[in-house]
Chain A
Amino acid sequence: MKLELAELAECLHLPLYTVERWIRQGRMPARKTGSQCVFKRVVLEKWAEKHDITFTLNEDHATPKGHDDKDGLLAALKRGGLHYNVTGDSVDEALQQAVSCIPDFSDDERSLLLTKLLEREKLTSTGIGKGVAIPHPRSPLPGKERPALICTCFLKNKIDFKAIDDKTVSVMFVIVCPTVTTHLHLLSRISYCLRNDSFVTSLNKPLSPDEFFQKIEEFEEQLEKAR
């Protein structure tokens, strides 16, 4: 096989200088011709294994799969959907109703999610003040991996969530994520939106999906710009 020196260095996850030197010193089963190096793939793989060096050829590099589930708040919100007039007078009831709103979940999954949400709620309340709560399980759900979703529920009756500012809660964002990193990513984004007071007050009366998504889109754009 023939590869550019720099490409080979990348495959071996080593600095270019190191690869160049190793070839010169004869520590690596490869030869240099000009700026390219020639080697037998099998031999080099064997060598890499013996020396505890990772060797991945470029074509094996599948696009990292965790990539698309970071695609942002808007997509997750759309996946979860908006739900109005969610009933329930206590936290447990409201959560049960909210879980039943989540699209594409089997009954088993719903009950599992509910127990997990309640467990989390027992720890400390997810009511983050200003009439908003963000119930979420502490760890990702086992089983089939799903893209992240956030289910937005406008409650029919305001309920006491034991929130930090003791205000009653009228909106819940139920966050369900496949990985912890996505979870944190979405959490930070949603909390950015909720820091905006006018947005929070507008949430007090149910928004139409179009209005809601448009606002979220604006926020996301702001965030991207700040980057």
Chain B
Amino acid sequence: MKRFISWRVPTKWPVFRLDDRLLLIISGMIVGILSGLAAFALNRSLVFCLDFLHSYRAYWWAFILPAGGAALSSLFLSRVVNEGAGHGIPEVIYAVSRYGGLIRLRSSFSRLVSSCLTIGSGGSAGPEAPVVMSGAAIGSNIARFFSFNDRQRVTLVGCGAAGAISSIFNAPIAGLVFVLEVILGEWSTVNIVPIAVASVAGTEVSRLLAGNQIAFSHHTFHISFHDILACAGLAVVTAFMSVILTRLLRHMHHASDKTKLPIWAKAAVGGCAVGLLGFFVPDVMGEGYHSIRNMIEGVYEQGMTIAVVACFAKVLATSLTLGWGGSGGIFAPSLVVGSFSGLAYHRFLVYFFPSVPWVGEGCYALLGMAGFIGGILQAPLTGIFLIVEITGGYEVILPLIIISSLSATICYYFESASFYMKDLVERGQLLRPGTDARVLSDLSISELLEKDCISVPPSMSLREFVGLITRSRRNYFPVEDPETKEFLGLVKFDDIRPYLFNSMMYDAVFVEQIMDTHVAVARYGEDLSDVLRIMDSRGLFSMPVLANKRFVGMISKATLLDQYRKELMVQTYQG
């Protein structure tokens, strides 16, 4: 008897044995606090970097600052921690859907450092995605340390991401909704409670340390009916912009992939370009919250043309930074582009319909942000709640809902998957819980193998074979080389049906004459979805499975249905 219970395995503690909910809530809170701290740390170091570099901005050579930052950040990622560039959210989603949220420990700080270097030096990127990545990694590694199982680990990954978003925006609901909508793709009570707790914890951390500031100061807007109508137009504009950003980012990626330069040099090229762009349109530099603040307050002075130019410049700067190897997310740039397009749209309305009493331009900037986020992430709820929370205004909720969902729908026509998931969908790796792809990827051939087939040698006579059939429970008989045990072919019961009652042929025919040598086979480690595709295209109901040319069993659709159903039931069970 083991009397001593390891403190490293809290699932064994008597308190948590019965149900893991309490355990998840407590650990979710811890994860939320930690990722809140990570977010706060990144925020502070960004402020520090910007302050430190502020004095150098005036010099003519200031455009190489972003280049240096981006190069350093990519060097750090590729040499020090050995990770790829990118913002990391697809990695989190991938880990959640395929490996139960296993994320490397180094991811919990690597993106923080690299994105701090990129953004702090003036690159156009957002700090949110790196924080989400590190929050998720913190959650995952805490779960690993305490040997949680996959389901619990996924919840903690969600907790980390929620805590990060909540803390950086001071917006608990947005954090919760973002995680459920984007990261997990699953709404179940088991998940929601710990994640909500983590959101609260993350928010509380940032409030304690930085004070309860709403990211953008609150203004009262009086929305009238014609504003809501005008929203539809803005939705089209934001959707259009977000499609442009998505496509441009991908083009930049391909362009940089084709360039033969060291990674750090590529990042420097991108950074340089951003720096030069910043000379003409200074608003594109950094994460850009400052200009959003101006726009919402209605003190952004430039006219419509400048706003439109700034809007496109920001899109260009973001894709230059991220596409060429800088590190950071698209959340903050999206907000900036969104608010610029909202502003430009407002200017346009005022110019063409001067007699209509439009609500203030700040309101349109705000709606633009929601539309853009809803469009690029194709996550309308996240857009709605985030904007409501960071502006502290509930009265704009009606147009927000409309613009968010409209923009997401329009984007869907052009880009079938959101920015985060596009790569995953293309590789067929987006496996949301309870979907066909997920069930098939979880099931493996080894679980479906029917092993009670009788192998026969090729030299067996039909007489012996018929005798064998009476003992077998299967209709398929693999033929094996008696010496090497290699699989030679398959005899189907159907093949011998014509000779079954013709005893004249019993001694004249041998198995090797009736076996099918061109039978479609599955390999042992193959993906089930591939095997199914072969089965469907050839109209088969079962297939032999080979491992290293040797027969190991049959796989059939009947067993598959049985296991598939069980798997689906176990996966989708709530409660």
Contact = CB atoms under 8 A, between A and B. Distances in A.
Any A–B CB pair closer than 8 Å: yes
Interface in A179-195: none
A23 B569 contact: no
A31 interface: yes
Contacts, number: 47
A88 B151 CA distance: 78
A199 interface: no
A53 interface: yes
Contacts of A226: 467
Interface string A212-227: 0000000000000011
A161 B525 CA distance: 63
Given A51-B566, A51-B573, A15 B446 contact: yes
Contacts of B467: 226
Given A23-B149, A25-B149, A26-B152, A51 B569 contact: yes
A135 to B, nearest CB: 27
A18 B100 contact: no
A27 B152 contact: no
Nearest to A19: B447
A50 B100 contact: no
A151 B152 CA distance: 67
A151 B567 CA distance: 52
A16 B36 CA distance: 41
Contacts of A31: 11-12
A22 interface: yes
**Residue with the greatest number of chain A CB neighbours at <10 A, chosen from B11, B150, B152, B446:** B150
Interface in A19-44: 21-28, 31
Contacts of B12: 31
Given A18-B447, A227-B471, A52 B566 contact: yes
B566 A14 contact: yes
A17 interface: yes
Contacts of A27: 151, 570-571
B522 to A, nearest CB: 16
Contact of A25 (B100, B471, B566): B100
Interface residues of B, number: 24
On chain A, which size bracket covers the interface?
10 to 19
B486 interface: no
B444 A50 contact: no
A42 to B, nearest CB: 11
Interface string B464-483: 00010001000000000000
Nearest to A30: B149
Given A27-B570, A31-B12, A51-B569, A18 B563 contact: yes
Nearest to B17: A40
Interface string B438-465: 0000111011110000000000000000
B3 to A, nearest CB: 15
Contacts of B100: 24-25
B447 A25 contact: no
A21 B446 CA distance: 12
Contacts of A52: 566, 569
Contacts of B150: 24-26
B442 A24 contact: no
Contacts of A53: 566
A22 B570 contact: yes
B444 A17 contact: yes
B570 A17 contact: no
B257 to A, nearest CB: 36
B9 to A, nearest CB: 9
B447 A15 contact: yes
Nearest to A20: B447
Interface string B263-296: 0000000000000000000000000000000000
Contacts of A14: 566
Contact of B149 (A15, A17, A26, A227): A26
Contacts of B11: 31
Interface string B534-575: 000000000000000000000000000001001101110100
B442 A21 contact: yes
Interface string A154-176: 00000000000000000000000
A37 to B, nearest CB: 12
Nearest to A12: B566
Contacts of B471: 227
A17 B447 contact: yes
A175 to B, nearest CB: 21
Interface in B55-84: none
Nearest to B567: A18
Contacts of B149: 23-26
A52 B563 CA distance: 12
Interface of B: 11-12, 100, 148-152, 442-444, 446-449, 467, 471, 563, 566-567, 569-571, 573
29 contacts: A15-B446, A15-B448, A15-B449, A15-B563, A17-B444, A17-B447, A18-B447, A18-B563, A18-B567, A22-B570, A23-B149, A24-B149, A24-B150, A25-B100, A25-B442, A26-B148, A26-B149, A26-B151, A26-B152, A27-B571, A31-B11, A31-B12, A50-B573, A51-B566, A51-B569, A51-B570, A52-B569, A226-B467, A227-B471
Given A17-B447, A18-B443, 12 more contacts: A14-B566, A17-B444, A22-B570, A24-B150, A25-B151, A25-B442, A26-B150, A26-B152, A27-B151, A28-B570, A52-B566, A52-B569
Interface of A: 14-15, 17-18, 21-28, 31, 50-53, 226-227
Q: Which 9 A-B pairs have the closest CB atoms?
A: A26-B149, A26-B151, A25-B150, A15-B447, A17-B447, A18-B447, A27-B570, A51-B569, A17-B446
